[in-house]
Structure 1
């Protein structure tokens, strides 16, 4: 099995597959060995990943030049290629199955079911893993209301950020007495650092197609759309291929499985507008209009696409549906917490050892995800904060590490579940700069329809810029808080309503950093360029001249084997000298 997700593909996994096939054919063992391009295994930090079965040997950071030796050692002689075995699978001279490592053993893969296990471009492999069994069960043995009740009883809530009960949404649409209804899959995943939905579409596209057909049957719809961003070429290509295969097998189209039920799915490509993740803006974009939200009610389940009843679920939500139908509502409801059932997929990013994709039961703690599954903070640095929920989420601190990950707990702490981004920050992160970064993003992504969001986010960003440049005042801090509350209360859609979350949470939990920027005119983390300068410690400098050679503005001068000095009038504060000094003589002051 060779990872074929976007991350590994960008690291030459296609070339690795080609080389594997070449070497296997060269040794004449192509009848005994099959090379399968899969979806994401989750441990993106170690990609490209190759797993050899039946042993389950996990090879990490594999390069094309490793393949001849790997094939000869493992596939020809049955001896694992030690150089590339994932270190965490080695224990007492033996090689563990990778599923027993810290990264995998606490995960429960439901939405990510089949990702990294099957060839996503082969419908037979999906069917061989119980694929389309749920659709068959629904069409042959279950009434529409029975399907809706099953999803309701499972407790499945929307994984796109809203957290609304999925079965209840379906029921609202089912009760509408209209001839035409629509099912939309929201694959417009726009959060920086988020790649949950993309990975599901790349690794198991048929699970989404099957779920959309089940949803269509439940509400009485014959037409579905998937709205996916064009920046996901691999996901789009595999989904389109899966659609063609499903139609060829009679699992989409007219008279599915001879039951008289008809359902089709069309693809609509988004152009990367973050606001189109909001359901009414998404609907307008599918209709061919500019993606801008409209007030609710009416809700889309009552009046949505082309003014007809429409249900919109994101990719991860739909990826749970077939498993719930097959294994039952009680099974799914038995995972997670009382009000947050099932699992959640998170994209771990930032200052964490194991960046990648994880799926964990609701109710697990932040500490378990970051320090056990995620492997902690690299370089011996101290954990500082974690942001959940993408650019609209809040930043939580060390005191929250033992809090439960569920919808209500995260919201009560000033953050949110969101679609599943989880960015970890260490001691070198400036929290004021983090708030400024996310405000810059949401300001750019505002559709401009409502004044609080269009103008309010711009004013917030101006205040944050002022503070990070050392020109802020205590009055500005008060304005930041007051304006944030007003924007949350008055904005039309969730983009504006949640945009101030990074500001409010960082002020609440890291107020001392704002005070340092305003009162002391210092950036404690040494990030904000206007508030720092670089200085060479003459006692530590060995006069090697490396910093002077690397300085892009010739701001550093001195004689060999004598302490060098920085001309602060010429220095542009790029930090190159700090990064290249081998003697830690360059300090941020």
Structure 2
């Protein structure tokens, strides 16, 4: 497997890719017209047959999630798009929204019709103001063209789409915390069950999907389920963005079939930065157990990555070479999780705080070998015991780094501190301006923050 599959990024080289005119020039909204001639249940079955799995990290079958909505619930149904991309290393949804927002709007319209919803929300991080402006512009263009709004394309289907800006809390990427935030409350995870499909937004049946998941729906409607399953693997069908960052010659978005390997992606990305070699990497962002060079040929699909001891997650491939101190890198990640913990449950609130103290102690050369067991003990009290997946995510890099680089932790004890020169390991050192495989077009004049 050596070729890319540009589908969502196919028109990113157009200077007007983000406009309605530019999107329609490549067949945009044809899938919506086709979908509106079909029965909603037929659309749900089509997505099920495609094998599309959630692209937000968990990999849950999208069509199956849609099918969970109770048929006998009298409350209105809601579609919520999770665009609160905040996982360290994850950077696929923001460039997609910046370059091709209409593919999401079309996906929202089709998905809402399929689940019989007339109200959709797009929850975006408040920090990405340029993206929020672009999505709102796309929503207005679609509304003026009668692609959303009342009586869409004269079919009698009504759909209101609201773009909601979050307030910058990482925890709101968790679907139930996002729903609380949408309702105006502090973003904290809810106890499950009930699940959002039964009692979600405003205690009504709700579907929460990632941006890339919903954006993949128009292609499936336009080309069919067999087209989608012809890519990827038997259980991990289709394509997705693989976001390469860090110590790589050409970082960027590589849209490829699931099942491609990091070795193949690195070949297309020019390899690890010149003069250096791969040390460790993350297959799905900082909350997934790290991999090393021995995993270069692991197929990047949900099953293979899981069997190798990690998670595919959001396919955020952070690449680190031999100049990087794994203790320092993990310490920075845990500082982030400690800061972003909502504080609702004790294991996460206390566990991340104390892991930061232990990792800092090791970095300063004041630690002992017993601190390694202390870290693992804290992780054991975090894993599976926190209120949401944040605790599991924080434990993952600590446990996996000790598994693969235990001696490096011990070196911090025996050598009286970190043996690495961090000036040589900075991700921007010697990187130059390499661009990316699929760069999103810049905001036009007038859309930048003044």
What TM-score do the two structures reach when normalised by structure 2? 0.91
The 1-side partners of 2:72 and 2:185 are apart by: 25
The 2-side partners of 1:270 and 1:176 are apart by: 32
**5+ long unaligned stretches in structure 1:** 1-101, 528-572, 580-589
The 1-side partners of 2:268 and 2:66 are apart by: 34
Deviation, 1:334, is 1.4
Q: Residue 366 of structure 2 aligns to a residue in which SS?
A: coil
Structure 1 range deviating more: 409-418 or 163-172: 409-418
Deviation, 1:465, is 1.1
**5+ long unaligned stretches in structure 2:** 430-450
Deviation, 1:233, is 2.0
- Which residue number in structure 2 is paired with residue 124 of structure 1? 21
Q: Residue 242 of structure 2 aligns to a residue in which SS?
A: strand
- Which residue number in structure 1 is paired with residue 190 of structure 2? 294
Q: Confirm or deny that 1:458 pairs with 2:362.
A: no
- Which residue number in structure 1 is paired with residue 277 of structure 2? 382
Question: For residues 193-208 of structure 1, what are the structure 2 equivalents within 5 Å?
Answer: 193-208=89-104
Deviation, 1:117, is 3.1
Q: Residue 477 of structure 1 aligns to a residue in which SS?
A: helix
8 Å contact 1:197–1:315 — kept in the other structure?
A: yes
Please give the per-residue CA displacement for 1:519-546, whole angstroms capped at 9, x wherever unaligned: 343534334xxxxxxxxxxxxxxxxxxx
Runs of 4+ in 1 over 6 A off after TM superposition: none
- Which residue number in structure 1 is paired with residue 442 of structure 2? none
The 2-side partners of 1:318 and 1:513 are apart by: 42
Q: Of the candidates 338, 343, 346, which is equivalent to residue 448 of structure 1?
A: 343
Deviation, 1:191, is 2.0
Q: Confirm or deny that 1:469 pairs with 2:364.
A: yes
- Which residue number in structure 2 is paired with residue 350 of structure 1? 246
The 2-side partners of 1:248 and 1:218 are apart by: 22
- Which residue number in structure 1 is paired with residue 236 of structure 2? 340
8 Å contact 1:255–1:262 — kept in the other structure?
A: yes
Please give the per-residue CA displacement for 1:147-193, whole angstroms capped at 9, x wherever unaligned: 00110111111111111000001111263533401001111011233
The 1-side partners of 2:411 and 2:71 are apart by: 57
The 2-side partners of 1:403 and 1:389 are apart by: 13
Structure 1 range deviating more: 281-290 or 412-421: 412-421
Question: For residues 37-52 of structure 1, what are the structure 2 equivalents within 5 Å?
Answer: none
8 Å contact 1:118–1:126 — kept in the other structure?
A: no
The 2-side partners of 1:423 and 1:269 are apart by: 27
8 Å contact 1:157–1:317 — kept in the other structure?
A: yes
Q: Of the candidates 406, 409, 422, which is equivalent to residue 511 of structure 1?
A: 406
Structure exhibiting the larger radius of gyration computed from Cα positions? 1
What TM-score do the two structures reach when normalised by structure 1? 0.70
Q: CA RMSD in A?
A: 1.9
Q: Residues 240 and 285 from structure 1, CA distance in 2 versus in 1: closer, same or farther, beyond 3 angstroms?
A: same
Deviation, 1:115, is 2.4
Structure with greater contact order relative to length (CA < 8 Å, sep ≥ 6): 2
Deviation, 1:415, is 2.7
Q: Confirm or deny that 1:435 pairs with 2:322.
A: no
The 1-side partners of 2:424 and 2:26 are apart by: 53
